[in-house]
Amino acid sequence: MVNLILYGTESSPSVRAVLLTLRALKLDHEFHTLDMQAGDHLKPDMLRKNPQHTVPMLEDGESCIWDSHAIIGYLVNKYAQSDELYPKDPLKRAVVDQRLHFETGVLFHGIFKQLQRALFKENATEVPKDRLAELKDAYALLEQFLAENPYVAGPQLTIADFSIVATVSTLHLSYCPVDAAKYPKLSAWLARISALPFHEEDNLRGARLLADKIRSKLPKQFDKLWQKAFEDIKSGAGKQ
């Protein structure tokens, strides 16, 4: 019997990557929402389980695992009936791992977290142009990743898609919509992932919650861009 408990908050891109993986593997699980503002993640029991007090954290029986990339790889390795989502072939796995490192190093920590810090901690009155330029460069790299394949690590859906879409959909709905004219492959990939039957519940809903919060802090000129981005991803515009 699988006894999985996921701790986190629905708005977190990292948590949503795990939710997408759990759903793709059809694994029964409990989701325990943590109120980060209230310090739920800093309570003694949580610190005992996860000294880094980060989300997501997965509890599997007596074992606790944190960091979304570690969790989603673990779930496939332990519970998947096949290796499509995280191939065992060394080269194919290396490509997936590279995309996962790209997500954490470039998209999440390098861009998303820096934008969040500027907006919510430094109270910036406008989005830093240098960070937006870096984001567009990242979109261009993703466009190259998708040049010959429908998914970011090759011809098949993998955990790299779940990790990257959780962050990119948030950036797309808030700071910088993906321009389908400039990034047609990336736009089509977003629409392709959005067509998954569990995407709405396990990613888009949380991405919209976070985008609403970000939008409330953004200058008003971003309103029309944000609304168009949400309508596009909801309708599947750009799907090929």
The residues assigned a catalytic role are: 12
CATH value at residue 181: 1.20.1050.10
pLDDT tens-place string over residues 60-85: 999 999 999 999 999 999 999 999 99
Take residue 52 and report the two structure tokens written for it.
């880094």
Take residue 146 and report the two structure tokens written for it.
């998708």
Q: What is the pLDDT of residue 126?
A: 75
Q: Cα–Cα distances in Å, from 229 out to 20, 159, 211, 236, 237? A: 21, 24, 11, 10, 10
* Residue 118, domain member (yes or no): yes
The range of the structural domain enclosing residue 28 comes to 4-79
My answer on whether 57 and 125 are in the same domain is no
My answer on whether 94 and 198 are in the same domain is yes
Q: Which of 55, 79, 103 is the last residue of a domain?
A: 79
Take residue 164 and report the two structure tokens written for it.
């990257």
Tally of residues, the chain: 240
My answer on whether 9 and 57 are in the same domain is yes
My answer on whether 208 and 133 are in the same domain is yes
My answer on whether 183 and 220 are in the same domain is yes
My answer on whether 102 and 215 are in the same domain is yes
* Residue 185, domain member (yes or no): yes
Q: Which of 24, 58, 79 is the last residue of a domain?
A: 79
* Residue 171, domain member (yes or no): yes
My answer on whether 222 and 139 are in the same domain is yes
My answer on whether 13 and 96 are in the same domain is no
pLDDT tens-place string over residues 172-191: 999 999 999 999 999 999 99
Q: What is the pLDDT of residue 232?
A: 64
Give the DSSP letter of residue 56: -
In the chain, alpha helices (H): 13-24, 44-49, 68-79, 90-102, 113-116, 129-145, 159-173, 184-194, 199, 205-217, 223-235
> Domain tally for the chain?
2
Kindly write down the DSSP assignment for every residue of 150-200, as one continuous string.
Answer: SBTTBSS--HHHHHHHHHHHHHHHTT----TTT-HHHHHHHHHHHTSTTHI
Judge contact between 27 and 3, C-beta under 8 A.
no
My answer on whether 95 and 19 are in the same domain is no
* Residue 240, domain member (yes or no): no
My answer on whether 68 and 164 are in the same domain is no
My answer on whether 163 and 228 are in the same domain is yes
* Residue 40, domain member (yes or no): yes
- The pTM for the full model equals 0.91
Q: What is the pLDDT of residue 218?
A: 74
* Alpha-carbon gap, residue 74 to 201, rounded angstroms: 22
My answer on whether 28 and 113 are in the same domain is no
* Residue 152, domain member (yes or no): yes
- In this prediction, residue 123 has a pLDDT band, given cuts at 50, 70 and 90, of confident
The alpha carbon dihedral of 102, 108, 110, 112 has a sign of positive
CATH value at residue 51: 3.40.30.10
Take residue 156 and report the two structure tokens written for it.
């098949």
Q: At what angle do helices 205-217 and 223-235 cross, to 10 degrees?
A: 170
Q: Which of 44, 79, 114 is the last residue of a domain?
A: 79
* Residue 84, domain member (yes or no): no
Take residue 29 and report the two structure tokens written for it.
């699980």
Supply angle C-alpha 109, 211, 219, rounded to 5.
95
Q: Which residues pair with 145 in a beta bridge?
A: none
Q: What is the pLDDT of residue 21?
A: 98
Give the DSSP letter of residue 39: T
